[in-house]
Structure 1
Amino acid sequence: MIPNRRSFNLRAACLLLGLSSPAVFACGGYGTLLTPAHDAFFGDPAQREAAIATLRAAGPQGLALLMSNTDVVAACMRPNPTDEQRRWRDAIDAVAMAKDAYVSGLYWHTDLDAAKALAAAEGKPILSLRMLGRLNEDFSCANSRFFRTALYANQEIADYLRDNFVLHWQSVRPAPRVTIDFGDGRVMERTLTGNSAHYVLTSDGRVVDVFPGLYGPEAFLEMLRAANSGARSVMAGDDSTQAYQARALVALEQRLRSDLAAVGIPQPPTGVVRAVAFQSSAELPDAVAAERVTVGKRAAEITIAEAVAPPLPAAPNAVAASQLTFAKDRAESEVVADASGTGQVRAPAIANADQAGRLTTAKFLAESELTLLTPREDARTLQSPGALALDTLIKSLDDDAWSRIAALRPSQLDERSRNLVLCKVSADSAGCRGIRTPKRAKSVRANWTTAQFERSLAMDTVRNDYAIRRVVLRALSQDPRSPDVDELNAEVYAELFLTPDSDPWLGLLPDDVYVALDNDGIKRR
């Protein structure tokens, strides 16, 4: 069906926005947006640019009006879009300030103060995403791309976010990017490293909960519901952030113990959790380490990073960080692995990307000293044999144990997410050779990709929840300072994601590695 260029009817559009018939003619505000909503899709370039700016300034209502053209939105969902359909996708994404918003229909603020103002006016908490790169660009860090596919595109999650949260994203730094030219006209582009975290905030910006890294849709929605309820109680004055965080920690550790029992792993004794507080790290992890902070992300990015900076066993860095999660690790490991191309194994004084990329979450927690686990001198420390035993057990789990735990919490993409995977995969892969039609090849590859991605999601869910989120909740629940979200995020990136602000090269430029290139192959644009 070809979208109707005259399909913006005032009555129909306002009804789709939830307005009653009398309100349709009473609210001139929506009427003034009808022309921009038309021009954003069907105007000339100058009209489209002006219309997108107008709709963006109108906030979530501007995006909702644009999405009310159901014929256009349906056309955007096709796996092989025409140039015109790509322009329609771009218009929706520009108004939403998020890539693939033509699927999610979610409006994102990029100004936290504006998000706070709207949250206060509507009595909603804020979901603030911190990431490498930008959410409105294709080449943001791998986990943020996975969020757009597995989480925001999910029908139930998108509806829940739209109804219950004000959404905000902020870039921590650009995502490192690599282009591989095969010399025959074929070019591959990937990101090298980076991770993302969601923070649930009250309308005035207090941190309620943290979701570090990638989660499956079922787990993410469950956490959203709990954090939404908790944040609203805090905003109403019926609860405190620390009390919520302490309860969330108890619930998380109860589930962890239940999962351990279910897979036959002996239980450590129970006990009181110890108090911790944040402090800065003495050593700086970097980019070949930060790459493996998730498992699925690592597959998308790691092998290139390893070529740029080879593994450095002595300290974590950007190849190490890439392996901290499973989906991220699969996405990045091939990229990070080749980043330096020297084949040398050196251990510089500062940890870097190659080393971080090789660590799984369990191995990383077992071998690295995280300052989040180290109490400051002024922090209260409670004796907690049970909690310490649980920490030790988590650090000792191998990949097989994590796989068995992950099997208890399977992750499945919904129909919209599966369709988005189909839209994005290429049929030009070794496994698809011999399949006659490109359409069939894309479908086969999407099925393979989805099955593997779902397994990675399940692994990331349990690792991020039990090995990372548990650490952050413990620190927050025992720290009376209630750290600012920017302060907390800096700690998370430096200590858990292994990508500190203090290392601009993310460990990809070690001091003692010779690459035989002028100026080490470094150029400034």
Structure 2
Amino acid sequence: MKRMLMAVVLLAVIGSLVEAAKPSSPIDQILANPAAREQAIANLRAEGPAGLAKLDELRKSITDEIVTHSAANPQQPDARLTARLAAVETLMDEVAAQRYACKSRLFWYTDLEQAQAAATKQNKPILSLRMLGKLNEDFSCANSRFFRTTLYANRDVSELLRENFVLHWKSVRPVPRVTIDFGDGRKLERTLTGNSIHYVLTSDGQIVDALPGLYGPAAFMSQLKTSLQLIEQLAGTDEATRSERLVAFHQLQLSALDQRWASDYQTATQLLNSGSSAVHLAAPSPLRAAQPLKATAAPPNAAAAAQVTRPKKMVEMPLVRAAIPGAEIPANVTDDKLWQIIASLHAAESKLDEASMELIRSQNPIAAHAVRLATTKARIEDPLVKLVRTLENSIAVDTVCNEYQFHRQIHEWLANSGRSDVEQFNERVYAQLFLTPSSDPWLGLAPIDTYTALPNAGVAANR
């Protein structure tokens, strides 16, 4: 009898252990079963942003549990909850098709036809990112990595994108990677070359505008809001009218951009020549707040757009350009100091918000640990302060260079065409603006006329 009782007890204990070992929720089942995981990801992606939102709610509940546990047990973190949170965040990246999706909460289509179908259904335009590498991998091209931290993680940018656009990305080609082996177990890995561009498209894929390279958060939002206003005015128009308004819009943008460039160039030249010590790119209070282009504050309505014709532009712009010699061609300006001063005039457009700062801090745990060791002097000793200031400086310079050089050329191209195929246009952008044509498999990194003293010039092509 005792043996029978002991057997029953033993079976009960084993049963309880087996039950405890079973996944306790669908998410645990997904994490424990690779096959189920792949299917679950496919199912959630099929739901679009709603599928990602389900995981985000789960993430929030786990985060709340961690906060509650930490409050009650400050010295004993719950490893199980921490592991579940990390697993859910990894799953979010896979469902969203974007690294750090737990910060941005953005869902991306990787098939343009699917994006167009979703955009048509939701009556939204498309924001289509073209890049080297993939958005859901750490080692995508540098610009796309900065997009994830300084733009998509930004709360205001994220909200604008989630509410107003259907998002899509496409890899133009793999991104070149280089590894430096120090020979003692240490390695340094980086990406080389590569650029990215955001296209604003109508739901049927027509180009409205294109933002080349990296922009500061405020500048990025300003450009997107301008496009959204224009798209509202294009709604319900026939093909011919739409093309006319798009051409007129880009003519007006080009005219306004040239006027703004003339003003900035004059101010920056005067400051440079005066040797003013008051110019600090990262100053908390920039020399003047960035002012939106007159044309971008409100896109032209049909009546105003009709007035912006090429003859009118050809009459006005020589006068603007003649007023400040040399300012009419931003591409000819190669003085780095001058570009830094111009960037300082718009420094407010590149300030990072706390959400981006939090993500950057999580990517730099050594620096974050240093801050915790000196909390009383954190404002002075925080290693991230200098890092972020340098980053904001770089973004500010990128913003004005991209706007005055690349975006200016894009406006000119689009002002000369009523409708452009995004794939063909993108080929032109990468070939003529980014100087990385698809015809060059080596992206300019292996010139055939350079002697390297290496067999086959160090080139290996395994396919």
Assess if the C-alpha contact under 8 Å between 1:406 and 1:458 holds in 2: yes
| Deviation per residue, 1:449-469 (Å, 9 max, x gap) | 111001111111111111110
Q: Which residue of 2 aligns with 1:57?
A: 46
Displacement of 1:473 in angstroms is 0.3
Say yes or no: does 1:520 pair with 2:446: no
Say yes or no: does 1:68 pair with 2:36: no
Q: Which residue of 1 aligns with 2:212?
A: 212
Q: Which residue of 2 aligns with 1:144?
A: 144
| Deviation per residue, 1:31-65 (Å, 9 max, x gap) | xxxx756655x544333333222111111110011
Q: TM-score, structure 1 length as denominator?
A: 0.64
| Deviation per residue, 1:183-242 (Å, 9 max, x gap) | 111111110110000010111111111100000001001111111111232233275322
Assess if the C-alpha contact under 8 Å between 1:199 and 1:207 holds in 2: yes
AA partner of residue 58 (structure 1): E
Equivalent runs, 1:414-453 vs 2, <5 Å = 414-425=353-364, 427=366, 444-453=382-391
Q: Which moved more, 1:513-522 or 1:92-101?
A: 513-522
Separation in 2, partners of 1:199, 1:57: 23
Q: Which residue of 1 aligns with 2:72?
A: none
In our comparison, the structure showing a higher alpha carbon Rg is 2
Separation in 1, partners of 2:320, 2:100: 42
Say yes or no: does 1:385 pair with 2:322: no
Q: Which residue of 2 aligns with 1:325?
A: none
Q: Which moved more, 1:510-519 or 1:68-77?
A: 68-77
AA partner of residue 248 (structure 1): Q
Say yes or no: does 1:106 pair with 2:106: yes
Separation in 2, partners of 1:155, 1:445: 24
Separation in 1, partners of 2:56, 2:28: 11
Q: 1:522 to 1:105 in 2, by over 3 A?
A: same
Separation in 1, partners of 2:397, 2:343: 5
Q: Which residue of 1 aligns with 2:261?
A: 256
Aligned to 2:261, the other structure's residue is in SS state helix
Displacement of 1:72 in angstroms is 3.8
Assess if the C-alpha contact under 8 Å between 1:37 and 1:51 holds in 2: no
Separation in 2, partners of 1:258, 1:115: 40
Equivalent runs, 1:95-494 vs 2, <5 Å = 95-237=95-237, 240-263=245-268, 265=270, 385-386=318-319, 390-392=327-329, 395-396=332-333, 398-410=335-347, 411-425=350-364, 427=366, 444-480=382-418, 482-494=419-431
Gaps of at least 5 residues in structure 1 are: 1-34, 267-378
Assess if the C-alpha contact under 8 Å between 1:132 and 1:196 holds in 2: yes
Aligned to 2:215, the other structure's residue is in SS state coil
Q: 1:188 to 1:397 in 2, by over 3 A?
A: closer
Q: TM-score, structure 2 length as denominator?
A: 0.72
Separation in 2, partners of 1:195, 1:74: 39
Aligned to 1:391, the other structure's residue is in SS state coil
Identity of aligned residues (%): 45
Q: 1:230 to 1:265 in 2, by over 3 A?
A: farther
Separation in 1, partners of 2:256, 2:454: 54
Gaps of at least 5 residues in structure 2 are: 1-24, 68-78, 272-309
Assess if the C-alpha contact under 8 Å between 1:179 and 1:188 holds in 2: yes
| Deviation per residue, 1:256-279 (Å, 9 max, x gap) | 33433544559xxxxxxxxxxxxx
The number of aligned residues is: 371
Q: CA RMSD in A?
A: 3.3
- Structure having the higher helix fraction is 2
Separation in 1, partners of 2:121, 2:372: 56
